């Protein structure tokens, strides 16, 4: 079904192909309604206009092969009206590619770029890649906070997407486990490794902002913080996560009493202000350094690395 059909025609009933089994509804609709912003997709789903087998659904509902999806007519920009991502953003994305083969593409995602558009963001990584290479069927494998830099994996083949998502338990996790992060925590952490085993509860504030807190009613969440070295009264650490909840490292670090440096949402404002003055740190010091997994039933291993961003390395050097 083409996007123009959705504009000119009425309601469409689309049968889900077998190779889309397990796909989220919002991602399926983005493929059906080419050029539709994610905010519009959420709006038509939440208003009940989109149905799966005649029943209301949520944006994160999982489809099964053979399902019938009702798609309402929507107003999309004509081909000549749609805005493209800015060239400066496309240049940054092209320069950030650190690995590519026939199945996957990996980026060292810059801080400040969302993984996809929505919630006030016009364009994200996935929209940028599709603009760079309009003939390739890119799909996000997992998420990464907008302010976090580092390894982000995008699938070029549906089979690779499904296999990695199964490995990463993407259905329940926002960010992928099996990754190592580098972070600067405020204050002096003890030597060795500190484990935080604290359930996290996610809520959405008015306006769409996501907030996460430690709450016994939340989902099980485990993070391991290993001290690498102390710098200028702060602690440079490696973090591994057993789960991949939204904002997990940031909330767990704050729960320890050592929030992530530069974190405006969960951090220490006074410490952040001092770090701007002392080290020029103007953003969240959290970087997804590596990600490891294997495809083809374990026969094809991947170890993807993303070097620490220059601005974080510079801030770290200034604290020495």
Catalytic positions are 145
- CA-nearest of 139, 146, 189 to 160 is 139
Dihedral sign (CA 15, 19, 22, 25): negative
* 104 within 8 A of 94, measured Cβ to Cβ: no
Closest by alpha carbon to 249, among 273, 208, 228, 221?
221
Q: Name the H helices within 33-180.
A: 38-46, 87-95, 125-132, 158-168
Cα 22 to chain centroid, rounded: 19
C-alpha–C-alpha distance, residues 2 and 4, integer Å: 5
Q: Please calculate the CA angle 46-48-53 and round it to the nearest 5 degrees.
A: 120
């Amino acid at each position: 079904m083409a996007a123009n059909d959705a504009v000119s025609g009425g309601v469409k009933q689309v049968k889900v192909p077998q190779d889309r089994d397990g796909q989220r509804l919002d991602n399926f609709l983005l493929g059906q309604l080419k050029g539709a912003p994610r905010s519009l997709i959420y709006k038509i789903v939440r208003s009940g206009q989109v149905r799966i087998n005649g029943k209301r659904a949520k944006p994160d509902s999982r489809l099964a092969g053979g399902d019938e999806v009702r798609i309402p007519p929507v107003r999309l920009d004509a081909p000549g009206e749609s805005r493209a991502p800015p060239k400066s953003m496309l240049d940054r994305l092209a320069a950030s590619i650190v690995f590519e083969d026939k199945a996957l593409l990996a980026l060292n995602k810059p801080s400040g770029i969302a993984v996809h558009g929505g919630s006030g963001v016009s364009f994200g990584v996935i929209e940028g890649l599709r603009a760079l290479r309009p003939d390739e069927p890119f799909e996000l494998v997992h998420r990464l906070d907008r302010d976090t830099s580092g390894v982000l994996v995008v699938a070029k083949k549906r089979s690779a997407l499904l296999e990695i998502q199964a490995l990463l338990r993407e259905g329940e996790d926002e960010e992928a486990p099996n990754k190592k992060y580098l972070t600067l925590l405020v204050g002096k952490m003890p030597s060795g490794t500190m484990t935080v085993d604290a359930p996290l509860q996610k809520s959405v504030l008015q306006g769409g902002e996501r907030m996460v807190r430690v709450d016994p009613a939340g989902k099980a969440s485990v993070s391991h913080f290993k001290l690498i070295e102390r710098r200028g009264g702060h602690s440079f650490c490696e973090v591994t996560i057993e789960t991949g909840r939204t904002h997990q490292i940031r909330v767990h670090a704050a729960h320890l009493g050592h929030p992530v440096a530069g974190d405006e949402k969960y951090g220490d404002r006074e410490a952040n202000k001092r770090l701007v003055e002392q080290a020029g740190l103007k953003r969240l010091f959290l970087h997804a350094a590596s990600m490891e997994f294997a495809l083809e039933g374990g026969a094809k291993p991947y170890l993807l690395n993303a070097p620490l961003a220059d601005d974080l390395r510079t801030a770290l050097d200034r604290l020495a």
